């Protein structure tokens, strides 16, 4: 409860709010009309008036009726956790696709509220919540127009997605294995991608710094190539609409051959964050994939490695690193190589020297373990992914055991 509230405060700050107070109430069942009890609501109302509060945010999802009733008592805007997360996403989205997806999720979240209380919602201006451009005008329109907009976004998204899938198909012709970096927001995913590939992805101490996926090629010391994608961070109680909206980003995760699950081990809630990430992975159908657990930020442990050791007991193949300092990166690369290896065939090839293209291709897609030149041909012992088999079939001397 405490940590969830701390996180909510951090989310509010991320959305540009200043937190001036907070409160908790234990109830067996939420009050149907006001979520919290009447007395507590009045108490909050007084506090709001005294401190000129303009927004109250609840760490749960509220019904449209609860929001309306609470706004009457507080005499200020009331948001739930879902609207707050949507708001942050709306501020961060950069690509056309990202923007469309978030607007869609926001409109869908607002629609039931618009249906009955749009007059009330139209009062909302500025601050945290729906904002800017299309969003603000939507609040002043009727339900019909919101629905029309939703329909138009769906069509546009379909077009953008088709383009993306063409790009993906082009990449798949290359058939390098795909690895996705997943993890709780702020765990250090982008820092890791930057560290491993020299990418230039924004990595800052903010929740949801990354929304749009970035993919870079990583060449392992074992000469294996892998396409590494940095993805949107996960969070507990991720609004369901957002999971839907981010299917495109998360498609990279669903298609991945391997997941790197980055955990901030210096965070007191590391275990809960792992569970939240696993829950989202399950929800999008990406559970059960080969996964390398990456225990990040070891530089912040200050000698107290107890929590880390417990995690390493639980995940024996986990790797402890500091993406910031580079500590443990060689071990991580080795583990990635091991995890990807089963997807490779070991074979011996004989290629005439004049087939320079074939030799170049071999180095590009395969891992050359041994090379010998004799007369007109070059002999290679290589490990290549099975789907390249046909390209080199004419040159195979013998297939060795898969290792
Ligand atoms: N001390 C320390 N800080 C780190 C390490 N890795 C990342 N950070 C910091 O943690 C913060 C978040 O890092 P990001 O790489 O943006 O995290 P992310 O997982 O991509 O976060 P989102 O995209 O917001 O979900 C940044 O301030 C990083 O500098 C690490 O190994 N050690
Ligand atoms: Mg990031």
Q: What does pTM read for this prediction?
A: 0.73
Atom of ligand 1 nearest to the CA of 262: 19
Task: From residue 193, give the alpha-carbon distance in Å to each of 75, 93, 119, 221.
Answer: 46, 19, 46, 16
Lining ligand 1 with CB less than 6 A are: 183, 185-191, 203-210, 233, 296-297, 299-300, 322-324
pLDDT digits (tens, 9 = 90+) for 287-316: 888 899 999 999 999 878 899 999 999 999
DSSP 209-267: ---S-EEEEEE-TTS-EEEEEE-PPB-TT--HHHHHHTHHHHHHHHH-SEEEEEEETTS
Q: Do 322 and 328 form a contact (C-beta atoms < 8 A)?
A: yes
Confidence band of 1 (pLDDT split at 50, 70, 90): low
Confidence band of 129 (pLDDT split at 50, 70, 90): low
DSSP 209-224: ---S-EEEEEE-TTS-
- Give nearest CA residue, ligand 1 atom 11: 205
pLDDT digits (tens, 9 = 90+) for 242-259: 777 666 667 778 778 899
Residues ≥6 apart with Cβ < 8 Å to 165: none
Ligand with minimal distance to 194 CA: 1
Atom of ligand 1 nearest to the CA of 194: 15
Residues ≥6 apart with Cβ < 8 Å to 280: 234, 238, 243
Ligand with minimal distance to 295 CA: 1
What was the pLDDT predicted at 118? 37
pLDDT digits (tens, 9 = 90+) for 7-54: 899 888 888 888 988 888 888 999 999 999 999 999 999 998 999 888
Extract the runs of DSSP E, i.e. beta strands, from 298-341: 319-320
Distance of CA 189 from the midpoint of ligand 1 (Å): 7
Mutate to test the pocket of ligand 1, among 93, 186, 238, 262 (most ligand atoms within 8 A of CB): 186
DSSP at 355: -
Atom of ligand 1 nearest to the CA of 183: 19
């Amino acid at each position: 409860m405490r940590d969830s509230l701390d996180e909510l405060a951090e989310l509010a700050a991320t959305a540009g709010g200043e937190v001036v107070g907070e409160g908790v109430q234990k109830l067996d069942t939420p009050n149907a009309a006001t979520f919290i009890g009447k007395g507590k609501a009045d108490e909050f109302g007084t506090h709001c008036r005294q401190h000129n509060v303009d927004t109250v945010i609840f760490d749960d999802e509220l019904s449209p009726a609860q929001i309306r009733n609470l706004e009457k008592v507080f005499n200020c805007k009331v948001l739930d956790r879902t609207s707050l997360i949507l708001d942050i996403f709306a501020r961060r989205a950069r690509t056309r696709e990202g923007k469309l997806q978030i607007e869609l999720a926001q409109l869908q979240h607002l629609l039931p509220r618009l249906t009955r209380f749009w007059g009330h919602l139209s009062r909302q201006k500025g601050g945290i919540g729906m904002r800017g451009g299309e969003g603000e005008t939507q609040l002043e329109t009727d339900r019909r127009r919101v629905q029309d907009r939703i329909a138009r976004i769906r069509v546009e998204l379909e077009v953008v997605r088709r383009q993306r899938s063409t790009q993906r198909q082009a990449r798949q012709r290359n058939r390098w294995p795909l690895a996705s970096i997943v993890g709780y927001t702020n765990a250090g995913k982008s820092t890791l991608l930057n560290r491993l590939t020299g990418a230039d992805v924004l990595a800052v101490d903010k929740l949801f710094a990354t929304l749009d996926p970035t993919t870079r090629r990583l060449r392992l010391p074992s000469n294996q190539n892998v396409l590494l994608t940095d993805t949107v961070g996960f969070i507990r109680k991720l609004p369901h609409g957002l999971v839907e909206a981010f299917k495109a980003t998360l498609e990279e995760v669903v298609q991945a051959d391997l997941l790197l699950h980055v955990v901030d081990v210096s965070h007191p809630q590391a275990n809960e964050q792992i569970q939240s990430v696993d829950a989202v992975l399950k929800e999008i159908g990406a559970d059960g994939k080969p996964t390398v657990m990456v225990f990040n930020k070891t530089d912040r442990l200050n000698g107290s490695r107890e929590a880390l050791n417990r995690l390493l007991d639980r995940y024996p193949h986990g790797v402890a690193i500091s993406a910031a300092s580079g500590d443990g990166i060689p071990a991580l690369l080795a583990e990635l190589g091991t995890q990807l290896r089963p997807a490779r065939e070991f074979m011996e090839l004989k290629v005439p020297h004049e087939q320079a293209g074939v030799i170049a291709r071999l180095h590009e897609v395969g891992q050359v373990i041994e090379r010998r030149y004799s007369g007109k041909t070059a002999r290679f012992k290589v490990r290549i992914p099975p789907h390249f088999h046909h390209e080199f079939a004419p040159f195979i001397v013998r297939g060795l055991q898969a290792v």
